Amino acid sequence: MIENTLVLIKPDAFDKKYTGRILTCYEENGLKIKALKLLKMTPELAAKHYAEHIGKDFYDELVGFMTSAPLVAMVLTGENAIAKVRALNGATNPEKAAAGTIRKEYAQSVQHNAVHASDGLESAAREIHIFFNETEIFD
């Protein structure tokens, strides 16, 4: 099934100039970029994106990190894109991520883990429209 998914290249990976390598990884694995932008997340945008985490112990640190520097947001599409992207990203903890995955190669820690990807069709639909409107998404 052809799916769309949201991916964020987080401030840590953007700051270390890994963006091009990460984009190449997705494209070389059959995913197509439908939308792409550089932005600085605001606390308000973070609250929309991470709504399910508001009030949790790690929320303030997460927002502080995600608003600390620019990030790259994108919509990727392809056959089983959600599962494919999550496999390419690897485990959240880079120490447990498989060799060759984005997090194994570019993440620093569980907190600074280089990328975010939607975890299912419902979250992808919700997250994509937090970062992009329909005029910014191309086929």
Q: Which residues are catalytic?
A: 116
Confirm or deny that 77 is annotated as ligand binding: no
Beta bridge partners of 7: 74, 117
For 19-74, the DSSP string reads HHHHHHHHHHTT-EEEEEEEE---HHHHHHHTGGGTTSTTHHHHHHHHTSS-EEEE
Confirm or deny that 126 is annotated as ligand binding: no
CA nearest to 125, candidates 113, 115, 114, 134: 134
Beta bridge partners of 38: 72
CB 113 within 8 A of CB 18: no
Confirm or deny that 93 is annotated as ligand binding: no
Confirm or deny that 96 is annotated as ligand binding: no
CA nearest to 139, candidates 90, 94, 76: 76
Confirm or deny that 103 is annotated as ligand binding: yes
Confirm or deny that 113 is annotated as ligand binding: yes
**Feature table: binding site:** 10, 58, 86, 92, 103, 113
**Feature table: binding site for ATP:** 10, 58, 86, 92, 103, 113
